[in-house]
Amino acid sequence: MKAWVQHTTGPVDCLELADIPKPEPGQMQVLVRNRAAGLNPVDWKFIEWGHPDWTWPHVSGVDGAGEIVELGRGVTHLATGMRVAYHQNLVNQGSFAEYTVIPAYAAIPLPDGITFEAAAAIPCPGLTAWQALQKVNLAPGSRVLLTGASGAVGGALLQLARTRGWSIHAAASSGEHRRVLKLGAATAIDYKRDGWIDELKSLSTASPFRAVFDAVSGEHATKLASLLGVNGHLVCIQDRQEKPPFAPFTTTLSLHEVGLNAMHGQGADHQQWGELVAAGTSIANAILSGEFNPQIVEVAPFSHLPGALQRLRTGPNPGNRVVSIG
Looking at the structure, tell me whether residues 268 and 251 fall in a common domain. no
In tens, the pLDDT along 224-234 reads: 999 999 999 99
User: Does residue 57 have a cis bond before it (omega within 30 degrees)?
Assistant: yes
Looking at the structure, tell me whether residues 119 and 268 fall in a common domain. yes
Cα distances (angstroms) measured from residue 295 to each of 21, 26, 290, 324:
34, 35, 12, 16
Which domain CATH number covers 87? Answer: 3.90.180.10
Would you call 18 exposed, middle or buried from its count of C-beta atoms within 10 A (0-12, 13-18, 19+)? middle
Q: Choose one of 199, 226, 257: the last residue of a domain.
A: 257
Cα distances (angstroms) measured from residue 220 to each of 31, 217, 238, 281:
41, 5, 10, 32
Q: What is the pTM of this model?
A: 0.96
Looking at the structure, tell me whether residues 69 and 170 fall in a common domain. no
CA atoms within a 13 Å half-sphere pointing along the CA-CB vector of 22: 10
Looking at the structure, tell me whether residues 116 and 45 fall in a common domain. yes
Tell me, yes or no, whether 129 lies in a domain. no
Domain that holds residue 194: 136-257
Q: Choose one of 225, 257, 289: the last residue of a domain.
A: 257
List per-residue pLDDT tens for the chain, 326 residues long: 999 999 999 999 999 999 999 999 999 999 999 999 999 999 999 999 999 999 999 999 999 999 999 999 999 999 999 999 999 999 999 999 999 999 999 999 999 999 999 999 999 999 999 999 999 999 999 999 999 999 999 999 999 999 999 999 999 999 999 999 999 999 999 999 999 999 999 887 778 999 999 999 999 999 999 999 999 999 999 888 888 999 989 999 999 999 999 999 887 888 999 999 999 999 999 999 999 999 999 999 999 999 999 999 999 999 999 999 98
Looking at the structure, tell me whether residues 10 and 115 fall in a common domain. yes
Tell me, yes or no, whether 130 lies in a domain. no
Number of domains the chain contains: 2
Q: Choose one of 257, 280, 314: the last residue of a domain.
A: 257
Tell me, yes or no, whether 82 lies in a domain. yes
Tell me, yes or no, whether 65 lies in a domain. yes
